[in-house]
Structure 1
Amino acid sequence: MAVGVDTFHAGLVAPRPLRRKLAQDLDCEACVIGGGFAGLWTARALARRGFEVVVIEAGRVGSGASGRNAGFVGPGYAEPLDGLIARVGLDHARELWALSRDGVELVRAAVHGGRIAGVEPVGGHLVVRRKDEERATHREADRLRRQFDTPVDVWRTREVRGVLHSPHYFQALHFPEAFHINPLALAFGLAEELERAGVRIFEDTEALRADLNGVRKHVATGGGRIRAKHVVLASGVPSGRVWPAVTRGVIPVSTFIGVTEPLGEKLYAAVQFPGAVSDMRRAGHYFRRIAGARLLFGSGITTRRSVPGGLTGTLAREIGDTFPDLVGAKVEHAWAGTMAYAVHRMPQIGQIKPGVWLAAAFGGHGLNTSAIAGELIASAITESDERWKLFAPFGVVRIGGPLGRIGVQASYWHMRFKDRMEERRARNASAHRTPMRGEPAT
């Protein structure tokens, strides 16, 4: 039985049989609720510290956002640096950013050892501008290097357009330490590593209710009850049955991904950069070349969870608009990926009450931040490490139910409109500017 059969990722990895469903009562030291990256990394970190761990997953391992995303691994959070600094100050922001880089290295160590089949890491990430703002690009690179100890290079417009044949792109920040992978292969590989280490994983096992008071917690499922000293809530968009307040503080946000037909040399001419690419808009495009000379291309942010009609055609038009050489390219696979966002756009990581831990709301940046969340929680449980308190300013804030979701959607529409207006003004200004000596006409 395959997982996520509507995604292209699933076709690149061998299908796994359905794991058994919990059908008895169990005792363990730690019960992890959720079989996505947050749960898998936390279980891994605890198991490596000698803990007896049970993982329960309502669906299949990797069937949620963890196995359906674009596979970009790089530093940072959904909240941009300016907002992070404004919220907690420069020194605190530096510590949080350093943790995000630690998460990248945890993933790198897992995928570059050759032990996980099909993960196929490819280095480099270009973050491109769709406005001609070379000075701002240099300022951002200088800040990342000087204040956040992050290797980053500035690519000028000529360099960017030398590898991305699009009239929409200008300067870029190049992150050489970032990389991209098949995320579903990583989820499968982590789960299999856990089972070899003695961690018990149960699929099709939803947490229906829980008693999280007292020294010994109780988590009830349809087939049995788990008694544990520690419970970790690590599901992407919590069901609300275990800890309702957490669900009220998380909103599901979807983005859409498509994979083209094989494009042959036409793709390699249009997209010569082999790494990951995203643009700097608030709700922009992101893409990478993948197996078989295909382009994986992501776009859009919405609070609706259903797949809109005509999605393959919409994505094909956006690809053609971005890359004139790819006009007419067909999108053969398309799907929605639902992420969990908090109102402050930062992960919710930490202790809710004694023995109850939360790792959720990674906001589309879960590959690196879920890895560090697992380490922070495990080290807190086993070593009294208090680094998780760096995330204390970003606690559970109630979204506001359906009206809150409408507000979030309206804010995304506003951001997209603002992006379009800023790009239009930048194009008009660029069209009337005289190129400097040696600068290519754009």
Structure 2
Amino acid sequence: MSINHQNQGHVDSYYAASANSKTPYPQLDGHLQADVVVVGGGYSGLSSALHLAELGFSVIVLEASRIGFGASGRNGGQIVNSYSRDVDTLRAKYKKELAEPLCEMIFEGGDIIRERINTYNIKCDLKQGGIFAAKTHKQLKGLAHTKKAWEALGNNQLQLLDSAAIREHVDTDLYVGGLLDNRSGHIHPLNLALGEADALIRLGGQIFEMSPVERIDKGDSPVAYTKLGSVKAKFMVLAGNAYLGNLEPKLTTKAIPCGTQVVTTEQLDPELARSLLPTDVCVEDCNYLLDYYRLTGDNRLLFGGGVVYGARDPDNIERLLRPNLEKTFPQLKGIKLDYAWTGNFLLTYSRMPQFGRFGNSVYYLQGYSGHGVTCTHLAGKLVAEAINGQAKRFDAFANLPQFSFPGGRNFAIPMSAMGAAWYGLRDKLGF
């Protein structure tokens, strides 16, 4: 399937090929002013801009490529609750006054996504339900503990599955059980981003694509400069995440970019597709180097996994993912893969997102560590609250310690890869 001209700038992915038709936004050419300038047209930037526009702020979004170009338009499309570190870790690692506000917000990102879809009638193949799949009894015990902790925080849509019950949802013998979260789900992520951008425009916001920000002034009236223009504002939100580059060096040193890979099969016979995932839920396993998968709206199996530290593109994505796909579903052995792509996310040392400010006018959001679909939407709401004078919830994240990787990014990348290899070995051995 060829990519339509309106998707030029996106990677050659299933999402780009099946994106809802839209006219590209213009390139910034001239000097503008707004209440808020947002740098980055992914979920963090779009969520921030949309929430701010709803509060009555004038907003301009500057995107270096196309809306949803980065992880927001390339991810697995799973609405997964919580953060990369869950409730027990937060409570063990941080004081109560830091941990409890974070725990209270672990389901809010997914709720925001569903509200955006309903409010703005966004067509993005929303489906309900997601499973954490356990390959070992130790993992299943951990899921039972998660169920108890999440129910105490108000999620009453959870079901612990034994080996027989999980087969009702996933036609594979890989798992000893799992946890079904009906407050989870899955989407076409690029179409969600495009729908949010369209909603922003309808509220009077402005978007400029192919407008990379080359430098910023972080004064009381911050300015973002592109090659052909600038935007002066009362507030700035830096939301480029793994694609921010070296625009703000103080952020670059805080985290490392990592790549994850995704493939999509050819269209499957509807009966075969439904036999693989009878209840149309999305799935991710509990391994450190996990696999994740789901059905698309047109009956393809979308399968992702693996991490490449340093965000370089692997030589052969299909070779990396096909063995695990076929191990999960032997009935798909030899299936044709129509699309294969990679996308970058930003990994922090603590695995918790990094929110903060430079002075009183420049805010930043980054480092979701693999849990960006939901947390980015929460981040946008929180930064909008803070700019609007209600900073308590934003500061619950901003007050977390933000550590750089020891030895800097060049040292952290190989060390992280070595650590991942060790945990990958533990997964294989069932520890």
Shorter-chain TM-score tier: over 0.9
The match for 1:224 is 229
The match for 1:276 is 282
Q: Specify the SS of the correspondent of 1:100.
A: coil
CA RMSD of the aligned region, Å?
Answer: 1.9
Mapped partners of 1:261, 1:251: distance in 2? 33
- The CA deviation at 1:289 is 1.0
- The CA deviation at 1:34 is 0.5
Mapped partners of 2:377, 2:157: distance in 1? 21
Pick from 242, 249, 257: which aligns with 1:252?
257
- The CA deviation at 1:89 is 4.4
The match for 2:354 is 348
Mapped partners of 1:357, 1:150: distance in 2? 35
Would you say 1:101 and 2:133 are equivalent positions? no
Would you say 1:65 and 2:78 are equivalent positions? no
Would you say 1:127 and 2:132 are equivalent positions? yes
Q: Specify the SS of the correspondent of 1:414.
A: helix
The 8 Å contact of residues 33 and 57 in structure 1, kept in 2 or not, is answered as: yes
Q: Specify the SS of the correspondent of 2:132.
A: strand
Mapped partners of 2:244, 2:69: distance in 1? 15
Mapped partners of 1:396, 1:222: distance in 2? 32
Q: Deviations over 1:30-86 (max 9, x none)?
A: 111111010011011111111111110111110110000111113111123332222
Mapped partners of 1:246, 1:406: distance in 2? 20
In our comparison, the structure showing a higher alpha carbon Rg is 1
Would you say 1:233 and 2:238 are equivalent positions? yes
Pick from 160, 163, 174: which aligns with 1:157?
163
- The CA deviation at 1:304 is 4.1
Mapped partners of 2:48, 2:297: distance in 1? 30
Instruction: Give 2:281's aligned amino acid.
Output: G
Q: Deviations over 1:328-352 (max 9, x none)?
A: 2222211001111111111112323
- The CA deviation at 1:120 is 1.2
Q: Specify the SS of the correspondent of 1:107.
A: helix
Mapped partners of 1:44, 1:350: distance in 2? 19
- The CA deviation at 1:242 is 3.5
After the TM superposition, which of the residue ranges 6-15 and 219-228 deviates more from structure 2?
6-15
Would you say 1:23 and 2:29 are equivalent positions? yes
Would you say 1:328 and 2:357 are equivalent positions? no
Mapped partners of 1:297, 1:11: distance in 2? 17
- The CA deviation at 1:150 is 5.3
The match for 2:421 is 413
Where does structure 2 lack aligned partners over 5 or more consecutive residues?
Answer: 1-5
Q: Deviations over 1:383-410 (max 9, x none)?
A: 3332111113434432312111111121
Q: Deviations over 1:15-36 (max 9, x none)?
A: 4333211111111111111110
Q: Specify the SS of the correspondent of 1:237.
A: helix
The 8 Å contact of residues 125 and 297 in structure 2, kept in 1 or not, is answered as: no
Pick from 337, 357, 364: which aligns with 1:358?
364
Query: Identity, % of aligned pairs?
Result: 28
Mapped partners of 1:15, 1:402: distance in 2? 40
The match for 1:194 is 200
Pick from 50, 55, 64: which aligns with 2:61?
55
Instruction: Give 1:188's aligned amino acid.
Output: L
Q: Deviations over 1:251-304 (max 9, x none)?
A: 111111011122323332233230111011111110001133210001101114
Q: Specify the SS of the correspondent of 1:252.
A: strand
- The CA deviation at 1:131 is 0.6
Mapped partners of 2:242, 2:333: distance in 1? 37
Where does structure 1 lack aligned partners over 5 or more consecutive residues?
Answer: 424-442
Give the TM-score of the pair, scaled to structure 1.
Answer: 0.90
1:391/1:241 Cα in 2 relative to 1: closer, same or farther (>3 Å)?
same
Q: Deviations over 1:122-157 (max 9, x none)?
A: 000110100134544333322221256453210111
Q: Deviations over 1:73-120 (max 9, x none)?
A: 131111233322222146643421332311211110111347213x01
Pick from 189, 212, 222: which aligns with 1:183?
189
The match for 2:345 is 339
After the TM superposition, which of the residue ranges 220-229 and 268-277 deviates more from structure 2?
268-277
Mapped partners of 2:90, 2:254: distance in 1? 19
Q: Specify the SS of the correspondent of 2:36.
A: strand
Mapped partners of 1:53, 1:292: distance in 2? 35
The 8 Å contact of residues 270 and 326 in structure 1, kept in 2 or not, is answered as: no
Instruction: Give 2:410's aligned amino acid.
Output: P
Give the TM-score of the pair, scaled to structure 2.
Answer: 0.92
The match for 1:403 is 411
The match for 2:49 is 43
Would you say 1:390 and 2:396 are equivalent positions? yes
Q: Specify the SS of the correspondent of 1:163.
A: coil
The match for 1:427 is none
